């Protein structure tokens, strides 16, 4: 798939909630220093995939398959080993920092704790390092912020504390699950900028999970599109935006390109994806998207393989033919709006 050695390797990941499949046969790799975006709507299984990787699946969910981090299998690893890796080699940033932070502990101490546990740093040294980290994530007056409790900080400041915690030990990979969804748009832009800069500086890989195609596309080199618990398409960001092959991706690109401040209402109705996302456990057999797909035929009752090399798609009737020539470079916003059903007139 990608050049370079796999830093994170997920193969045949299946997660069930009781008897309901939540994630089905998901495989992908993230190479060292690579930024990969995982895009999907509610019920796509994108968050559960991340939780399975880091070994924090909620009660009642069970995972099969394998996850390797730097070659080391994580499934079946003793909990002690997972605790050594979590917060250290693999870290996670959640959507709502308020529920990820301890409300009764000053934020400085919470970040210092990570360094004390994983790096064995003394209290004073850890504190000094946290001041540095706070400055790096863009927290003003870091010395003062150390003493703040989570509730005394704004949403953006709290998420910066989470970023500081996530990069404290120079992780191999940061998993960020909707890290800016709860933030105001101007704060979102700043936090995304900081996230990008931090993973660059640390040389960490990034798995950025979001429902917002524009957010992941702006930050990631490669995208995985999930729907109904499966990866339906994956490829380089520019390639996926300019030549989406799965009808779902094509619809997503079209609607995301049209819902933009650069796209005037004079262009007519917005391109849409028909139907709604089914409830968990109600996705059709075979192709998970066939219930909403205007290209669906009898063959779609059989599950399509995720096939291809750099650009993979799981579809019997893909939208754009496979490229005969080398793929085009970046696409202009609005360009892909002509792809997909019900396009602007």
Choose, by CB under 8 A, the member of 209, 257, 293, 306 that binds other proteins.
Answer: 257
Site for other proteins in 167-186 (CB under 8 A): 184-186
Query: Contact letters (x/-) for other proteins, 135-164, by CB under 8 A?
Result: ---x----------------x---------
- Check residue 22 for interaction with other proteins (CB under 8 A): no
Choose, by CB under 8 A, the member of 59, 79, 141, 262 that binds other proteins.
Answer: 262
What does the block give as tokens for 171? 């992780």
Query: Contact letters (x/-) for other proteins, 37-76, by CB under 8 A?
Result: ----xx----------------------------------
Cβ contact 268:225 at 8 Å: no
Residue 61 to residue 80: CA distance in whole angstroms: 20
DSSP E strand boundaries for the chain: 6-17, 20-31, 35-39, 61-69, 72-73, 90-93, 173-177, 205-210, 222-227, 230-236, 312-313
Choose, by CB under 8 A, the member of 218, 284, 303, 308 that binds other proteins.
Answer: 218
- Check residue 249 for interaction with other proteins (CB under 8 A): no
DSSP secondary structure of 133-181? HHHHTT-SSHHHHTT--GGGS-HHHHHHHHHHHHHTT--SEEEEESTTT
Provide the minimum distance between the beta carbon of 226 and other proteins in the complex, in angstroms, as a whole number.
13
- Check residue 260 for interaction with other proteins (CB under 8 A): yes
Residue 178 to residue 37: CA distance in whole angstroms: 11
What does the block give as tokens for 283? 């996705």
Cβ contact 257:337 at 8 Å: yes
C-alpha dist (Å) from residue 175 to 66, 117, 278, 286, 310: 17, 20, 26, 30, 22
Q: Which of 129/136 has CB closer to other proteins?
A: 136
The label of the residue with tokens 């290209």 reads 295
Residue count at the site for other proteins (CB under 8 A)?
A: 54
Provide the minimum distance between the beta carbon of 149 and other proteins in the complex, in angstroms, as a whole number.
13
- Check residue 251 for interaction with other proteins (CB under 8 A): yes
Query: Where along the sequence are the contacts to other proteins (CB under 8 A)?
Result: 41-42, 138, 155, 184-190, 192-193, 196-197, 211-215, 217-219, 238, 241, 251-253, 255-265, 269-274, 276-277, 279, 330-333, 335-336
């Amino acid at each position: 798939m990608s050049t370079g050695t796999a830093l994170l390797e997920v193969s045949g990941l299946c997660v069930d909630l009781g008897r309901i499949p939540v994630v089905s046969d998901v495989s992908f790799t993230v190479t060292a220093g690579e930024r990969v975006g995982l895009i999907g709507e509610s019920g796509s299984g994108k968050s559960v995939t991340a939780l399975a990787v880091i070994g924090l699946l909620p009660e009642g969910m069970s995972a099969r398959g394998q996850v390797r981090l730097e070659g080391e299998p994580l499934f079946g690893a003793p909990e002690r080993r997972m605790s050594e890796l979590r917060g250290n080699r693999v870290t996670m940033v959640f959507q709502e920092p308020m529920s990820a932070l301890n409300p009764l502990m000053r934020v400085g101490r919470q970040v210092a704790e990570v360094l004390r546990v994983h790096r064995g740093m003394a209290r004073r040294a850890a504190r000094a390092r946290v001041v540095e980290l706070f400055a790096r994530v863009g927290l003003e007056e870091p010395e003062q912020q150390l003493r703040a409790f989570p509730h005394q900080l704004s949403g953006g400041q709290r998420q910066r504390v989470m970023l500081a915690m996530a990069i404290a030990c120079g992780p191999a990979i940061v998993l960020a699950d909707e890290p800016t969804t709860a933030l105001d748009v101007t704060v979102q832009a700043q936090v995304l900028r900081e996230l990008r800069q931090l993973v660059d500086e640390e040389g960490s890989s990034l798995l950025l999970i979001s429902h917002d195609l524009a957010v992941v596309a702006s930050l990631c080199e490669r995208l995985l599109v999930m729907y109904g618990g499966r990866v339906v398409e994956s490829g380089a960001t520019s390639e996926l935006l300019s030549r989406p092959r799965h009808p779902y991706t094509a619809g997503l690109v079209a609607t995301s390109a049209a819902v933009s401040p650069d796209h005037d209402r004079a262009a007519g109705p917005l391109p849409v994806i028909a139907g709604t996302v089914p409830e968990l456990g109600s996705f059709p057999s075979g192709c998970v998207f066939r219930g909403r797909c205007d290209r669906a035929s009898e063959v779609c009752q059989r599950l399509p393989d995720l096939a291809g090399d750099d650009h993979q798609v799981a579809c019997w009737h893909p939208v754009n033919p496979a490229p005969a020539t080398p793929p085009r470079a970046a696409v202009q916003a609005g360009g892909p709006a002509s792809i997909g059903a019900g396009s602007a007139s």
